[in-house]
Amino acid sequence: MSVTRPNILNNATALQKYCDGVKRLKNEFTGPTTQDLGIDGPAQPVSTYDLFVIWHVNAMMTATPANGNPEGRNAAHRGPVFLPWHRFMLRQLELNLQRVLGDQDFGLPYWDWAADGEGSPEDQLNSPLWRDDGLGGSGDPITTGPFVFDPNDDSSFRVRIDTDSDGNLEQVNRGLARALGEDRAAPTLPNKTDTASALQSGPYDASPWTVSAAGFRNMVEGWPNGPAMHNRVHVWIGGDMSPASSPNDPVFFLNHCNVDRIWEAWMQAGSNGRVYLPDQSAPNSLKGHRINDELSSLISAPTTPADVLDSTAQYVYDSLNV
């Protein structure tokens, strides 16, 4: 059965369920420990939510090709696999949220950041998303919203795993941090002109299949004239959205759900179709990014870019007006 993924700012029920589900996953411990996952310090149980954080960091630290370069491509970013890998990750989160919410109709919401990006810089900071009844606002740590840290309440939301300045996973115990609009590299969000431009771009990807490539994937990831698009959203939010452990902020998944929606809109627009590049005849230096290569996985069976190209049997978006 296909679920519908809604705009979180138009659907208070989806917002409430999303926050509730995230907190449940944050407090679910299925057995893996920090020791199992190679994280220094005493062996501590790792929550299901935090497994997503670790999965993202591990994929980012997996060089493709394995001997390093071209231009820092990794198993989830900076190359063709960026969109399918995150689609896979989002779907795993959605399945787990459905499970802990006991709601098979739950669809992961998206945040249409380009709509907010149409407003003034001040309006962007005042979006309902950042209010107390949204995801909370800025702060170090944040002091509003559903993810406020209370050191005296073990069940309150907290960051337990992050990455240090060298990119190493480490154990912490602190509140979530955001610095909305504070980074001079991204004082504003992307807007509808940016998304319209992305929809006009093509092909899906192209040689050299890196951050230097022409094509849709690189444009929506946000490297040309960057930080743009997806990258710009990370940098604009700042705080825990800045390092490799960015899934620590639940807004990570709302950002990527919108990126996935833009990809879906691109595939359904004009003559693009459900086309992915490179195909399997590409050289071994592109292993991990070819259409039938396994995507890096942690909490489920693996999949491939080919397997996720058409997700309409699993979910659709309430709108492809990106």
Tell me which residues in 41-100 interact with other proteins (CB under 8 A): 41-42, 44, 48, 51, 55, 57-63, 66, 68-72, 74-75, 77-78, 88, 91-92, 95-96, 98-99
- How near is the Cβ of 12 to other proteins at its closest, in Å? 27
CA-CA distances (angstroms) from residue 307 to 150, 276, 283?
A: 42, 11, 20
Residue 13 is a binding residue for other proteins (CB under 8 A): no
Does an H or E element contain 47, and which? strand 45-47
User: What dihedral do alpha carbons 240, 124, 115, 103 form, nearest 10°?
Assistant: 50
Tokens of 63: 């060089």
7 vs 48, beta carbon nearer other proteins: 48
Beta bridge partners of 162: 170
Considering only residues 17 through 46, tell me which ones interact with other proteins, judged by CB under 8 A.
28, 30-32, 36-38, 40-42, 44
Which of residues 24, 144, 214, 227 is near other proteins by CB under 8 A? 227
Q: Footprint of other proteins on residues 184-223 (CB under 8 A)?
A: 185, 208, 210-212, 222-223
Q: Which of 7, 124, 127, 163 binds other proteins (CB under 8 A)?
A: 163
Name the segment binding other proteins (CB under 8 A); options: 13-21, 113-121, 178-186, 275-283: 178-186
Please list the residues that pair with 178 across neighbouring strands: 139
Instruction: Indicate the residue among 82 and 216 with the shorter CB distance to other proteins.
Output: 82
Q: Give the integer Cα–Cα distance in Å for 274 and 37.
A: 35
The region of 6-14, 188-196, 232-240, 262-270 touching other proteins under the rule CB under 8 A is: 232-240
Question: Least separation, in Å, of the C-beta of 103 and other proteins?
Answer: 13
Q: Which residue in the set 303, 316, 318, 320 belongs to the binding site for other proteins (CB under 8 A)?
A: 303
Q: Can you tell me the distance from the alpha carbon of 229 to that of 227, in angstroms, rounded to the nearest whole number?
A: 7
Of 16, 32, 55, nearest to 296 (Cα)? 55
How many alpha carbons lie under 13 Å from residue 186 in its C-beta half-sphere? 27
Using only C-alpha atoms, what is the Rg of the chain? 19
* Contacting residue, 24, 174, 192, 287, with other proteins by CB under 8 A: 174
Beta strand 315-317 pairing with 3-5? parallel
Member of 8, 304, 317, 322 binding other proteins (CB under 8 A): 304
Report the distance separating Cα 316 and Cα 108, nearest Å. 10
Contacting other proteins (CB under 8 A), which of 200, 268, 300, 321? 300
Contact by Cβ (8 Å): 15, 109? yes
Q: Which is nearer to other proteins, 119 or 243 (CB)?
A: 243
